Structures are given as C-alpha cells and as structure tokens.
Structure 1
Amino acid sequence: MLTFRRTRVPNVAFGCGHDNEGLLVDAARLLGLGRGNPLILATELAEKHPPFLLPTLGKVEFPLLQFKRCGSSFSSLRTRTCKIHTPSLFAVHELDSLRTRTRKIFYRTYGHGPIKVLMIIGLAGTHDSWLPQIEGLTGTVIPNVDQLMAAVDHRDAAAELGGDGDDESGGVEVCAFDNRGMGRSSVPTKKSDYATTIMAKDAVALMDHLGWRKAHVFGHSMGAMISCKLAAMVPERVLSLALLNVTGGGYQCLPKLDRKTLSIAIRFLRAKTPEQRAAVDLDTHYSKEYLEEYVGPNTRRAILYQQYVRGISASGMQSNCGFDGQINACWMHKMSRKELELICSAGFLISVIHGRHDIIAQLYYARKLAEKLNPVARMVELHGGHLVSHERTEEVNQALVELIQASEKKMNPYDWTNIHKKNSGSAVISFKPNFEGGSKLSFMIYILEKLHVFVLYFFSLFVLADFEVDYESDENAHIVYSALAVDKELQPDKVKRQMSVSNGKLSVHFEAVEARFLRASFSAFVDVLSLATKTIEEFSEGMEL
C-alpha cells in the first residue's frame, strides 16, 4: 500500500488505460478521488464496479500527479492541472421493442476556448474530412486527447516562467465525429435506424456529453441535412448554422443526369477496393480544373489519389449496411415548412456555402433552401466541386469565421443576408423613433396609426414586405414578439409571416401569393402590434416575459 503522510492531495484521479484513449470500461476502470475520500490507485481492476469510478462519459478536469523517485521510495509530490476529454466514444441509448440498444459514436475534439463548434460530416465521410476547417479555426489538427502529454509539459514550462500556460480567451473548441454507419462509430444493420432526425439526436446527445449548452453547428452534404434537423429540433442550442453543399433531400439528392455523372455513379457502385473508391471519389469531390492543376511535377489528381488510398485503407471501406442506411437517410430527408419557420424564427445567422461545379448536390437546390431561410441566411457560391471545403479551403474558412464573428456580435439578420428574392416586388418599412422629450413608445404608436392607411396602400403594390420596429430594448421587443407569435395567420397557405428579435429590434417579414392577402394580413398585424406596444407603455414597470 502507498501511504502519504503530511501531504494534502485534493481532488485526485489516476487513470486510465486503453493507451490513454480514455475508454474507462471493464478492466480499465480505475481509480481514486480525493476530497476526504481514501486515495485509491487501482489499474486494470477486474471488479465490475470499483469503489471509486470516474464517469465513462463526459469531460474531466483533474490534477495530474508527478512522483520523483529517490532510491526505492517516493521523495516528493506535486500537482498540476490539465484539461482533457475522455473518452473518444460515447454511448447513445435507444429503445426498440422494449429493449435498450446502445450505439457508440466516435468523436474527437480539437483546440480550447469558449467558442464551441460542432461539425457534422456527410455521406461516407469520417470526422477527419473536416481537418482543413479544424486547422483554420483552432490552428491544429492534433486531437486534444493526443495533446495531453504535450499540454502537461507546456504547463510545466509555463509554471517555471511564472505563467499558467492556459490562455483560452477567445479560442475555439471544435468537435467532429463519425456518423452512425461509418468510421469507428456503430453500424446498425436496419435501414430504419438511419434517418437525419435520428442522426441529429446523436449530435444533440454528443453536445450533452461534452457539456455544451450551445454551439455553432456546421454540416456538409448529408451532414448539412442533419444540421437542419438539429436546428429545428433544438433551435435554442444553435448559435449559428453553416450548410455546405446542401440540398433538401429526396429527389434533390439526384445528381444532374448526363453522361459524366452516370459514368461516375456506375463506377461508384462497382468500387470494391480503396484504389477504385479513391479514383471515383476524386471525380465526385472536385472540379475537373482543380484536379488537372499541377503542383510541382505532379497533378493534384495524382497527389490526392495517393492520399485518398491511404485514408480509405486506414479507415476501411464503408460497410454495405452503413452505406445503404446513410443513402436511405438522405433519400427520406425533408424539411417541413414548420421546421423551416422554427429555424428562421430562432434568429441565428446561417451561411449556405456551395461549389458551383458540384455534380452531386445541385447549386439550384441550395439557392432555393437559402431563399426559404431568408432573411437569416447568406448565400456563398465558390468555384469548386462537392468538397468545396477542401478545394477552396481559405474561402470556406473565411466564410465560417465571418459567420462566427457576426453571430458573436449579434448582427442583425437584415445586415447579414445577401439574398434578394426574384418576384413581383417587395417593400421595406422601418420605424426608428428619434425625438427629444415624451415617450418613444407613444411616438411610435402615433407614427403607426398615422401611416397605417399609407402603408396599406404602399403594400398593395407588392407581395413581399419587411417591417422593422426599434424598441431599443430586447425585453420590450421580446414581449411584443411573444404577443404577436400567438396570433397565427388565418390563411397560412396564402400569407407567411416570419418574426425575429435582435438588438432590441422586432423584424417582420411578410410574403403573400397576392397583394390583397398581404394588405389584410398587415392590417391585422398592425392592430395587435399597436395594442401590445400601448400595453408596454402603460404597464412597462414590472412586466416580465
């Protein structure tokens, strides 16, 4: 037994086994905790439930002990703190016919900081497909678990210089993972176990596992479909949304039918070896111009071919169950009008990023989705193929950084969007009271009532309208938003209304099939808006959301 005398060792843990991958299961359970408990060191315990057990899920922060041996005894002890993520697998529990099934999802985290980014890859892709973006956001492609020892050594050096070696202010932490059916995650055998909704729940469970209350969510291809479902499922947990090479699913997943894409499809289905799969993947992922460019004495195609063969050989060919299941998820994917409205009303900013030469996900459908997400979406079109994140890495990374920065600054969606719908016309009305003396809310009511008739006449010329009222208070704007949200459109098939609140402003977007429907909807809207605003003016003190 190892005994410490006159040594205070609070909150201590020893661990853990499995080549430090953090898989605290079965024989590698370990270990001890401090804070009044006996300190126990138990490596490779055979017991099913050792006395003190670190959780098998979660992010752990604990002191590491360093012992210096003098002769045959320990002569000194000191502690230092290091943050690591353990483990790299977490379990998703599903209930099926009264049986609980466990699915394992493999993930990696990179970088440290208060800004959290969740990256969801597409069909047949693994987490490391995001490495160009991970490096662009965090400055490293080395997973945090592999940086453990380097981090400890860095802290030692920092401590000797008088610092703590842990400056995370403004930093970014990224999590990327393998979707079910691919890589080192579980591969369910039933097609019914694959759906973008189910896979979105996997992603939400991963956020819970990491302890992330909110995150910027970035998705590519099928991963972008999953990201849309996640955003509609838990919009309050999304800080921003980036959709790369996305479509609406279903028939929109079908590539443009021509001789080239038909040949690629046949080669893809026949590919049985890493070499065959690598050759066809290059034609699907990149534009022809990019592949034919020379980098030194070799073309990009030759260089990338070798990289793809090594990567596919290392991760293994995707199983038939995984491939069929993920294809099924894409084919069955569909975003309802209600889901899109939930995303728009949440108010977070969106970037739709697409390659103009994408032969898998057609640009036309990405544009249509971006229009449906107006006014919170920005369309970014780049010269590239389906894997535009690799072909145009700098431009994509810049777009993602701009999205994060705009979201952190809470930019107004109307200042963010660059989408202008092509239709019979639109109108923009904005009220920003600025006067000396008196009540601003009273003045706003006065303006609304005086201009009501004029605005109705003005809107009669259009079928689109954007309306903004500046309350100069997030609280008041949210109160009015809550009151108006209850009053649904009487003819939702003829008039759509989207509302959002940002920086004390209530922004409303109207869209109608005919101008007469817009007039009627706007008239009723102004009546409720005026009543809500007057109520705030009269009873503002003590009012709560």
Structure 2
Amino acid sequence: MNTKTSLSTYHEGRAPAGDVEIFYRQFGVPGKIPVIIVHGLSFFSYDWMGVAAALSTDREVVAIDMRGFGQSGRSVAHDYSLRRNAADIIALMDHLGWDKAVLVGHSMGGRICLLAAGWYPERVAGLCCLDFAPDLAAEGRKYVANSIGRQPDHFATIDEALAYHGHDPAALGPDDPMRKRFREFMRPVEGGWELLRDLYFRDKFRKVLETGVRQPEEADPWVTLNKLNYPFLVVRGAGSNLFASDTMAKVSGANPHARVVEIAGSHDLAQDNPQDVVTEVKSYLNAMGV
C-alpha cells in the first residue's frame, strides 16, 4: 500500500473483486461508519479526492475506481454488469474489514450504490445519490451517448483530448487543474494517449448511436428506491442535464424517506460545487447518527 499527500494524507490500495482488482484511495482513520464514494461514467476516483478528504475528519472514506476505469483492472470478459459492480463494493468492504458502509454514488455510481443498497441491505448503513435519479433526462442521455460513443481509440495529444471534451487547451496552463486531471485520467499508448476507461463502454454507446436501440435495464432502480426503509439523500445539480428538475418531485413521491435537495452546479458536482456536496452529505450523516 502506498502513501501519498494531496489535500490530506491518504493511502492507495487494491482489493480483489471477481476477475479484477479495484483501485481505491483511502482517507481518514477509523471512527464513525466509513463512506465509499463511487464515480460516474466520465469520472474516476481522482475527481472525488477533495470531497473524500473533507468527509474524512471523523471516519474512513474511500473513493474507488470502478472496474474498467482509472487504475482498476479491466475485465477480460467485459463483466461490467450493475450486479458485478455492486458486488465489487462488497468485495472492497470485505477487503477492508468493514461490516457496513455509507454509499455515496455520483451519476452511474449512484445507480450502482442504489442497487447495492437493495441487493446487500445488511451491508449498507446509508445512501447518498449525487445527481442521479432513476429517470435520466433525454438531453443528458443524448450528450453522454455522443461524448462517449464517438470517442476515438486514442487521442494524439492531451490537448486533443481536452478539446474533444469541451475545454480550450490554449486557456489551460501547464499547472491548470483540468489539464492535470486529464493527465491523471490518460496513459501513453502507441500513437498518442488513451483514456483510462475500457473501450467496452465506448463501443456500447456507439452501438446505441448506430442502431437507436438501448439495451434493456438490468434492474429497475425505481423498485429499489421505492423499497428503501431508511432515510436517504438525493442531490440534484441545478444546472444538470441528466437529472431533470421535475424528477425531484417524482423521487420524493416514490419514497417518504427520500430527502431531495438541489444545489448549484452542473452534473459535474465534484468540480462545480464540492463544498455544498460535503455540506449536504455531512448533514445527512449527522442526521442518521452514523
């Protein structure tokens, strides 16, 4: 296990999970019930380091790279099902010796955490879904499909990757946080730089773009959300293109245990508004007494 210093002291580790190892960044020391942060499709654990550090003042907090992302292993069998991802969370908890944890999931990570709460209720002490609700807005769904589905195998330069993802490379100095972020989420390969995300996900969205047919849901997250029998937090970014504002009322109406709040920011809450994310999650943890 390696120790690094950034924002606060943290440790890096790897937990065996099925056919891969899950990479994680671990903050804090044992105290209250620990927290696991799970990123979304266009993100990785690096994006959540600031939030993880801020939440770790009285407990351990782990931010993971999901299988196929970042420094976690890529499944040769392309075993990226929701159930397998949920099982990876439990494998991580077993590796760390944790009986229970609070799950904090962003976007697709929110879907996985919600379903994990339904599939493994005895292991989940609380749930926070960040800019995720079971219904995805059409605008955001289309944007994600195009952004990921049209991604090339690799980019010639990091500047090319920045431009593809909507950033102006000329405006980003060598030490700019966004430039640094892309350096962390890419690796050199023959012919350029590759995103640290298995091309399986690109190919999955490419097929949707080509055929117009989406794969059926592996599990209905509304069913799980309806059945949760303890308080859980759902946070919407006010400028989100994936979580429509009118879906907030649908979530509230589906389960009286849901606390649904809106904060400033786009879908990328870790970048836009980490302070309010920390405030809302800490408030939830305190209210739950965990």
Query: What are the residue-to-residue correspondences of 1:10-409 with 2, within 5 Å?
Result: 21=2, 88-93=13-18, 102-115=19-32, 116-138=34-56, 171-191=58-78, 193-248=79-134, 252=136, 254-256=138-140, 261=143, 265=146, 269-270=150-151, 272-273=154-155, 274-281=158-165, 303-313=176-186, 316-317=194-195, 318-324=197-203, 332-335=217-220, 338-343=223-228, 345=229, 347=230, 349-372=231-254, 374-408=255-289
TM-score (norm 1): 0.43
1:226 is displaced (CA, Å) by 0.3
1:362 Cα deviation after fit: 3.4
Task: Give, as a single letter, the amino acid of the residue that structure 1 aligns with 2:100.
Answer: K
Structure 1 vs Structure 2: percent identity of aligned residues? 24
Distance 1:109 1:213, change over 3 A: same
Q: Deviations over 1:18-62 (max 9, x none)?
A: xx549xxxxxxxxxxxxxxxxxxxxxxxxxxxxxxxxxxxxxxxx
1:400–1:326 distance in 2 versus 1, CA, 3 Å:
farther
Partner of residue 443, structure 1: none
Please tell me the residue identity of whatever aligns with 2:92.
L
Q: Does the CA-based 8 Å contact 1:350-1:378 persist in structure 2?
A: yes
Which whole-Å CA distance do the structure 2 matches of 1:232 and 1:332 have between them?
A: 16
Secondary structure, in 3 states, of the residue corresponding to 1:219? Answer: strand
Which residue number corresponds to residue 484 of structure 1?
none
The answer (yes or no) to whether the contact 1:224–1:242 under 8 Å persists in 2 is yes
In structure 2, distance between residues paired with 1:253 and 1:368: 13
Moved more, 387-396 or 333-342: 333-342
> Aligned equivalents of 1:92 and 1:267: distance in 2?
26
Distance, in Å, in 1 between the alignment partners of 2:147 and 2:14 is 35
Query: 2-side partners of 1:125 and 1:109: how far apart?
Result: 17
8 A contact 2:149–2:202 mirrored in 1: no
AA partner of residue 61 (structure 2): V
C-alpha change, 1:333 and 1:339, in structure 2 (3 Å) is same
Superposition deviation, residue 366 in structure 1: 5.0
Judged with a 3 Å threshold, the aligned counterparts in structure 2 of structure 1 residues 267 and 319 are, in CA distance, closer, same or farther, namely: closer
SS at match of 2:51: helix
Distance across 2 between alignment mates of 1:179 and 1:127: 8
Query: What is the aligned partner in structure 2 of residue 458 from structure 1?
Result: none
Is 2:149–2:205's contact at 8 Å kept on the other side of the alignment?
Answer: no
Q: How many residues align?
A: 265
Residues 444-503 of structure 1: CA deviation (Å, up to 9, x unaligned): xxxxxxxxxxxxxxxxxxxxxxxxxxxxxxxxxxxxxxxxxxxxxxxxxxxxxxxxxxxx
Structure 1 position 357, deviation (Å) = 1.3
Partner of 2:191: none
Q: Counterpart amino acid of 1:277?
A: A
User: Any conservation in 1 of the 2:38–2:64 contact (CA below 8 Å)?
Assistant: yes
Cα displacement (A) at 1:172: 1.3
Alpha-carbon shift at residue 206 of structure 1 (Å): 0.9
The Cα of 1:266 is off from its aligned counterpart by 5.8
Seen in structure 2, the aligned counterparts of structure 1 residues 359 and 201 have a Cα distance that, compared at 3 Å, is same
Which amino acid is the alignment partner of residue 310 of structure 1? Answer: R
Q: What secondary structure does 1:255 align onto?
A: helix
Following superposition, the deviation at residue 202 of structure 1 comes to 0.7
Measured against aligned partners, the alpha-carbon deviations of 1:147-166 in whole angstroms (never above 9, x if no partner) come to xxxxxxxxxxxxxxxxxxxx
Gaps of 5+ in 2: 4-9, 189-193, 209-213
Instruction: Output the amino acid matched with 1:394.
Output: Q
Q: Secondary structure at the match of 2:133?
A: coil
Q: State the alpha-carbon separation in 2 of the partners of residues 386 and 195 from structure 1.
A: 23
Residues 505-532 of structure 1, C-alpha deviation per residue, up to 9 Å, x if partnerless?
Answer: xxxxxxxxxxxxxxxxxxxxxxxxxxxx
Q: How far 1:173 moved relative to its partner?
A: 0.4
1:459 alignment partner in structure 2: none
Query: Do the aligned residues in 2 keep the contact of 1:126 with 1:177 (CA within 8 Å)?
Result: yes
CA distance in 1, matches of 2:72, 2:149: 23
Distance 1:255 1:195, change over 3 A: farther
Q: Distance in 2 between matches of 1:228 and 1:330?
A: 20
Higher RCO, Cα 8 Å, sep 6+:
2
SS in 2 for 1:88: strand
What is the CA-CA distance between 1:237 and the residue it aligns to?
A: 2.1
Instruction: Return closer, same or farther for 1:365/1:188 CA change in 2, 3 Å cut-off.
Output: farther
Between the aligned partners of 1:257 and 1:108, the Cα distance in structure 2 is: 29
What is the identity, as a one-letter code, of the residue corresponding to 2:60?
Answer: E
Q: Secondary structure at the match of 2:74?
A: coil
- Contact 1:220-1:245 within 8 A present in 2 as well: yes
Residues 137 and 267 (structure 1), Cα distance of their counterparts in 2 relative to 1, 3 Å cut: closer
CA RMSD of aligned residues (A): 3.5
**Deviation of the 1:221 alpha carbon:** 0.4
TM-score by length of 2: 0.77
- Gap change, CA 1:404 and 1:267, over 3 Å in 2: closer
Alpha-carbon contact 2:134-2:222 (below 8 Å) kept: no
